[in-house]
A = this chain, B = another copy of it.
Amino acid sequence: MSPEKIISLQNPRIKNLVKLRDRRPRDEQGVFLLEGYRAISRAVEKGAELRELYFAPEWFLGKNETSLIKTIGENGVNLFELAKHTFAKVAYRDRPEGLLAVASQWKTHFADLHLPETPLLLVVEAIEKPGNMGMILRSADAAGVDAVIVCDPVTDLFNPNVVRSSTGVLFSVPVVIESTKNVIAYLETNKIRSVATTPSADSLYSDTDLNGPLALIMGSEQFGLSDTWLAQATDKVRIPMAGQADSLNVAMATIVTLFEAVRQRTLS
């Protein structure tokens, strides 16, 4: 089947692609955007469900685009070939690579998680910056976290900048979005200890036992941990800080704490 060709900027599909940069239409349609060779091929590799693929050969950077498009087309995804200027209109990245996909959103619930006997979870509160969320997801992937739990999120997971900065990890690390209340109940039911990182703690993160079933709790960029989590956490720990108070942002504090947990948990 030969792909439909779209030239007109007035084409309703083109108008919709531009709309999908905003959260509400994304959520209403249950989809999100993936741009560029790397993001789309990662999504395919990891079994994400693509609905539509738009491409414009005049923007291609390499030689692999054609075979990726072929694979995607063989999976039954609708293909659309765009004129160069039409693609420029729908691309949200500065340097278009001629590939834009519409993929289905998904939702992971606690019931979907299959945790090992001694799980390592990462709970993050109300993260605002897409770049931080992307880095947190990458850190979780690198550290082998069993699930990331996002409490009361401000940034949505399918924001194009989260998708991009997560470099494909979004498709493999289970992410549960839940209210703080439900997360607390889940940890209690599953007897998972919670360790919260906060600058006001007395104990150093590296002096605290991070073995066993564990959830690391990280606050938001602007407000730190909420009172609820400060009261709820089994332990509170801090990262030692030699320089100015705000040198570590939430994503940096997350990776430091996560890798200390990994270190302790793999000690023979």
Contacts and interface: CB of A to CB of B under 8 A. Distances in A.
Contact of A262 (B139, B141, B240, B263): B240
A93 to B, nearest CB: 15
A113 interface: no
A146 to B, nearest CB: 10
Contact of A248 (B142, B168, B206, B246): B142
A168 B244 CA distance: 9
Contacts of A138: 243, 247-249, 252
B172 A244 contact: yes
A8 to B, nearest CB: 31
A247 B169 contact: yes
A167 B255 contact: no
A138 B242 CA distance: 11
A239 interface: yes
Contacts of A266: 240
Q: Copies per complex?
A: 2
Contact of A252 (B139, B241, B260): B139
A107 to B, nearest CB: 21
A233 interface: no
A244 B167 CA distance: 10
Contact of A247 (B167, B239, B252, B263): B167
A153 interface: no
Contact of A255 (B144, B169, B255): B255
A187 interface: no
Contacts of A144: 242-243
23 contacts: A135-B252, A138-B248, A138-B252, A139-B247, A139-B248, A141-B247, A142-B242, A142-B243, A142-B248, A167-B244, A167-B246, A169-B247, A172-B243, A173-B243, A206-B263, A240-B262, A240-B266, A242-B262, A255-B255, A255-B256, A256-B259, A259-B259, A259-B260
Interface of A: 135, 138-139, 141-144, 167-169, 172-173, 206, 239-244, 246-249, 252, 255-256, 259-260, 262-263, 266
Given A139-B247, A172-B243, A256-B256, 5 more contacts: A138-B243, A141-B247, A144-B242, A242-B262, A259-B260
